[in-house]
Structure 1
Amino acid sequence: MKKGFTLFLVYFSFLSLNAQKKDQAKDTVKTEIVNIVTKYNPKISDAKKINKNPKIELLKNSEKKKLEYTIFSAPVASTFIPKSGVVKGIDVGVKERVYKNYLAAGIGNYTTPYLETYLTHSTNYENEFGFNAKYLASLDNVKNSVLNSNFSNFNIGAFYKQQERYFDWKVTLNSERNLYNWYGLPDITFTEPTISAINEEQVFNYFDLIGEFNFEDSYIQSGKVNFANYTDGHESSETLAKFEAKLNLPLDYLLPNLNDISVATSIEFLKGEFKNDYSNSNPLKYGTSTININPQYKMEYEGFSIKPGLKLIASFDSENSANNFFILPDVFVEGPIIEEYLNVYAGITGDLHTNTYKNFTEENPYVSPTLFITQTLEKSNLFLGFKGLIVDDLSFNVKASFKSEEDKPMFIRNNSKSDGTNTTYNSMDLKGYEYGNSFDVRYDDVKTNTFFTELEYEYSKNLSFGLQGIYNSYTLENEVEAWNLPSVEGSISAKYKTNKWFAGANIFYVSERKDALYTSQYPTAQNGSENVASFTDVNLNGGYHFNDKFSAFLKLNNVLNTEYQRFANFNTQGAQILGGLTYKFDF
């Protein structure tokens, strides 16, 4: 079509040129051609607006002709005769309706109230906002504890999300209030006046403001801004500001077959202060600034996925006037050995981890507000693993790793400043965490050899099982023990679900750990170590769906009713029962 139209234009131009030549031959008047050259200065008024609704007028010859057709129908004898029982239906189950909002409430022994809700609403396809809240508490004390051992956790949050033409953004505000007690007194005979003088309560408050951005068709893939503040009931304060961005840098302008380079970047500012150290002599301040650039390239070779990369890290310690620069590896390789049944993966990586007061209290809420906080350098983490299928329904994952860390943190029990009768030390009243019932953080250079194994068995679409096991071997530079670090951890899980019923089971095992042993009160140094016994924790849960909206649930924790210790001298509650209702709905 385009070729014919082009020939037509050439032919039409040739005829026009000949016609002009013939007309010029007949003209007896001599003509002169005058070329006038002038500078063109366009003005805004010279521009014409584009018609928003242009009309296309077709020539008569180009107009579409009305299509007329007829159908000649004839009966065809069908040879298909359906028979009952030939086609069998596939059991796909009943499709569960998914609701955006829910409200759950319950109560348990140890006077344990529970309330949780999540609400979200979209005004249109471009924006969404939501609210969430959760409250869980135990108002009764642990058996045989002479101090208050109750706790409460309350967190609340809200978000707003907006979708623009080329990007979307989200703002989230989270807040937490957690209450705990230093109730784990050591094996010292405390008098009644001394116990009455102990103020064992500790309260943590947390506020977190997060801004997130996701871009479409841009070199900047995503960005995140995070500002958090953490305080406690003993005038401790910590502020963390972090800026993150993920970039995609194209390389196809160099070679057409090259993939993009992904670059993860972050800038982090941490600043905190404790009112005093454990000796009550000086306040403890800490502050670090960290810049992290992590380029990574992804490629495929002979069926293997290869991700070479590295981490460029700069750290500036404002309190200790120390600056450090690191270049750490970040390489990952994965590929099949036996297609669909056995894959191998390996890699080596490193990182610089920023320790925070909040992270320590999440792992151990019984630390004292007198911590020395610094960063942990993961110099190298070399690992090799295999994953795949033993049979179609049984999958596995095994991995061996060798990690080398500088300044790895470990929890160790503080020595008591009281012999059981005194409530003052150096003419100062003892604080609630100075009776040997709190923990400090001890750092050391540690090499850890780890063997990890995992099995998952899907017996049917309604029933599945899981098994995990971890073995750790520690080599320390200075410390005599790997304080409160277990060498063996394991878990067994099971899940069962039908249209009406659901149930689950989790069994956890943690091996023996070591903690410090003191023969007399502070400032005596530690004298050996004590064993913190291993424990097994059995937890069951289940429930029943009355309909799509209403459900009942029941949780049984520590079914064996063992008063084990997660940390030295801190006994846990016995058998715990929590039951309640869940209501799901849409606005």
Structure 2
Amino acid sequence: MSKATYLLRKIYTLFTLYKEGKGECNCPSVGGFLSFLMSHCEEQLISTSRESNLLKKSWLFLFLSLISSTAFSQASRPIDSTTIIIESGYEPFLTDAFKIKDNPIINDTNKIIPQLKYSFLQKQVPVTFNIYPISPAVIKGEPLVKLYHGFAKVGFGTNATPLAEIYYNATRSKNYAYGFAGKHFSSTGISSIDYSGFSDNELSAFGKQYSKEFTLYGKLGYIRNVNHYYGFSDKNAALINDADAVRQELDKFNVNFKLTRNFTDTTQYDYDFDISYHNINDLFQVSENHFAVAGKLSKYYKNELFAIGTEINYNKLINRLNQENNLVVGLNPHISTIADKWEFQVGIGLYLNSYPDTKFHFYPKAEFKFNIVEHIIIPYVGIKGGLISNNLNDFYNENPFINTQLLVTQNSNQKYDIYGGIRGSLSSKITFNTSFSQQKIEGMPLYVKDFSNLIENQFVVEYDTVSFSKINAELTYQKLEKLRFILGGSYYNYTPKNELKAWHKPAMNISLSSIYDLGDKIVVRLDLFYIDKQYVKTFSTVTTNNTVVTTEEATELKGIFDANLSLEYRYTKKLSGFINFNNIASSPYQKFQDYPTQKLGVLGGLTYSF
């Protein structure tokens, strides 16, 4: 049997088994059967490839039989939409891929490089534009507060204390300002002490003229003060017949003129001048004429400010002592340099003093400030000095019980004032300032009783050289315009050269001032004061063996505590009512020797704007 015949029989046998679904020929599809057939007959197919005619015929017969039987089988079985026929298992496979690494190359034998040429059209396009004005920017802010021309205040309090004040001013203007004021405040005094009443009256008028370069200011005033020397002991009360015997009245006329340049350009000179004059007369034929001039001229050159200050004080006091004219002339040239973190000023003070002896005085002046933290911590240190002009007006404002007939107006020589401190802010609402200074003053005025007067109810001024140290501290809290506290205190350590003590100079004073505005309707003010003990000059007399011995002593005056409370209710923007409580503790303290102050005082009244 030939190989071809054997192969055909084998194929036919396998085909029969496939149709019957027996043995290894149980294939689910025709494709599967053909794959099975090729795997079993591969070697015979290769060996019988030469007998191709018979083999081809056998393959053709086998293929047609498979096709017809498959078609018949599929036609005989109906297929619905839910029948799934799987011909064979799917075996995905990928053949290996080989990348062609050769890059195409184009050999261009005729390469042409273009020659580029640029040209510009010499043609100008006309441009026209129109100028239109731009309106200035307007910042919309808060509306201006309405100003009233007039303000009046009237009140009445305990111890027959009337109060009356009236003010009249021009409203808001860019060119001028003017106004006048009148005040009256008096009291019958302490009910248990005779002749303790007082009366203060004042009239004044002012005017201002504004221009682009400077401001002119002028003021006229008249002040009338009446008080009584009621500080005498009971044993001397019999020496006083009526109130006129201890009455004092000062009439003061004053004129003030000021010229200030509105400094807007650092390349130009800046200047300001102040001229003032006052005339005083009292009931004891004592008079005073005082004339004062103060001025300053300055100019910036690069980063330095060059300035020179001038001052002239002329005083003529006419009383029993026939004191000579008193003249003080001073020049204060200085240079200031301001940098980002520090500021330094250095200069000198040159003064001429005509009383009691004509002398020239020289004082160094310097100050250095360093801004460690921007506007938060600023330490400073400096030295200064100068002549302090004393006059009747200043003495009376401080102590209205002085003996004007025996008053000596000697100038005080501040030989030096060495100081240093730290100021700054702890927050946007809290600021502080602390300082320490060491001073020496020749001719410091001290108040002592006039022992030449039998009643001993007046004071004279004694001058002494006093060295002293001063420690000062101040703390301020302010929340907008609604709440504000100011706490301050000073401590002094005096060392007089000739006197036992620095008379009527307390060693310490502390104050607390506060204001609270509740909805711009209710305003509460509270002021607390504490003044430490002070010493007064007294004499003790001892008689032994027909010998009278008088000894100077320092008598202590007790410390002072005072509290004042003020309440104001603003009924409308024009009308309000107020009530003041003075010396709430009702303590009969003495600020000056043998002059007790009023105890609890109540004053109430109304204010009106028109």
**Is TM > 0.5 for Structure 1 vs Structure 2?**
yes
Q: Equivalent of 2:170, from 118, 121, 130?
A: 121
Partner of 1:491: 511
The amino acid across from 1:137 in the alignment is S
Displacement of 1:62 in angstroms is: 11
Question: Are residue 354 (structure 1) and residue 392 (structure 2) matched?
Answer: no
Q: Contact (CA 8 Å) 1:245, 1:265: kept in 2 or not?
A: yes
Deviation string 1:536-558 (CA, Å, 9 cap, x unpaired) is 00001120111211111111110
Give the alignment partner of residue 277 of structure 2, picking from 227, 230, 241.
227
Root-mean-square deviation over aligned CA pairs: 2.8
Q: Residues 391 and 572 from structure 1, CA distance in 2 versus in 1: closer, same or farther, beyond 3 angstroms? A: same
Q: Which of 192, 195, 217 is the equivalent residue of 1:144?
A: 192
Whether the aligned pair in 1 keeps the contact of 2:495 and 2:501 (CA below 8 Å) is no
1:295 alignment counterpart: 333
Match of 1:44 in 2: none
497 and 229 in structure 1: CA distance in 2 versus 1, 3 angstrom threshold: same
> Following the alignment from structure 2 to structure 1, what is the Cα–Cα distance between the partners of residues 211 and 131?
45
CA contact (8 A) 1:134 1:156 kept: yes
- Give the alignment partner of residue 445 of structure 1, picking from 429, 441, 465: 465
Alignment of 1:31-46 (within 5 A): none
User: CA offsets per residue over residues 148-188 of structure 1, 9 Å max, x none?
Assistant: 110011111112223356433222111100001000003x5
- Check if 1:378 corresponds to 2:424: no
* Distance (whole Å) between structure 2 residues aligned to residue 516 and residue 156 of structure 1: 38
C-alpha contact 1:284 1:371 (8 A) present in aligned 2: no
Q: Which residue does the alignment assign to 2:527?
A: 506
Note the C-alpha offset of 1:301: 3.7
* Paired residues of 1:286 and 1:373 also in contact (CA < 8 A): no
* Equivalent residues in 2 for 1:22-171, closer than 5 Å: 97-121=146-170, 125-138=174-187, 140-145=188-193, 147-164=194-211, 166-171=213-218
CA gap 1:64/1:467 in 2 versus in 1, 3 angstroms: closer
Q: Amino acid of the residue matched to residue 483 of structure 1?
A: W
**C-alpha separation between the residues in 1 aligned to 2:284 and 2:475?**
45
User: Alpha-carbon deviations, 1:231-271, whole Å to 9, x = none?
Assistant: 11101111111222221245x3xxxx243312221222111
Deviations 1:262-282 (A, max 9, x none): 2221222111121x2xxxxxx
Question: Can you list the C-alpha shifts for 1:513-539, whole angstroms capped at 9, x where unaligned?
Answer: 111213469x99663122111110000
- Aligned equivalent of 2:227: 180
CA distance in 1, matches of 2:279, 2:597: 30
Question: Which residue of 189, 201, 209 corresponds with 2:247?
Answer: 201
Provide the residue aligned with 1:564 in structure 2.
Answer: 589
Distance 1:536 1:65 in 2: 77
Shift of 1:406: 0.5
Q: Distance in 1 between matches of 2:182 and 2:279?
A: 19
Distance 1:530 1:64, change over 3 A: closer
Cα pair 2:207 2:219 within 8 Å, conserved: yes
Structure ID, larger Rg: 2
CA distance in 1 between partners of 2:453 and 2:176 (Å): 57
Q: Which residue of 2 aligns with 1:310?
A: 348
Residue number in structure 2 paired with 1:427: none
Shift of 1:583: 1.4
Structure 1 residue aligned with 2:572:
547
Structure 1 residues 160 and 199, CA, compared in 2 at 3 Å: closer, same or farther? same
Q: Residue 315 of structure 2: SS of its match in structure 1?
A: strand
Structure 2 distance, partners of 1:164, 1:389, is 36
Matched-pair contact (CA < 8 Å) for 1:115–1:134: yes
Instruction: Name the amino acid aligned to 1:202.
Output: Q
d(CA) in 1 for partners of 2:222, 2:575:
29
Stretches (4+) displaced over 6 A: 61-67, 92-95
Counterpart Cα distance in 1 of 2:228 and 2:399: 12
With a CA cutoff of 8 Å and minimum separation of 6, indicate the structure with the bigger relative contact order: 1
- Alpha-carbon deviation of 1:201? 0.2
TM-score, structure 1 as length reference: 0.74
Quickly say closer, same or farther: Cα 1:287–1:183, change in 2 above 3 A.
same
- Give aligned-pair identity as a percent: 24
Shift of the 527–259 alpha-carbon distance from structure 1 to 2, 3 Å rule, reads closer
Q: Secondary structure at the match of 2:456?
A: coil
Match in the other structure for 2:314 = 269
Unmatched tracts of structure 2, length 5 or more: 1-125, 133-140, 543-547
Which structure 2 residues correspond to residues 204-215 of structure 1 after superposition, within 5 A? Answer: 204-215=250-261
2:26 alignment partner in structure 1: none
How far apart, in 2, do the equivalents of 1:306 and 1:571 lie? Answer: 48
How many angstroms apart in 1 are the aligned matches of 2:225 and 2:370? 45
1:260 aligns with 2:305: yes
- Structure-2 residue corresponding to 1:394: 430
Assess if the C-alpha contact under 8 Å between 1:273 and 1:285 holds in 2: yes
**Cα distance, 1:194 vs structure 2:** 4.6
Q: When the two structures are superposed, what TM-score results if normalisation uses the length of structure 2? A: 0.71
Deviation per CA, 1:415-468, whole angstroms, max 9, x where unpaired?
2643xxxxxxxxxxxxxxxx1001111111111101111122346763332211
Quote the Cα distance in structure 2 between the aligned partners of 1:197 and 1:169.
45
Segments of structure 1 that go 5 or more residues without pairing to the other structure are 1-60, 68-91, 277-282, 419-434
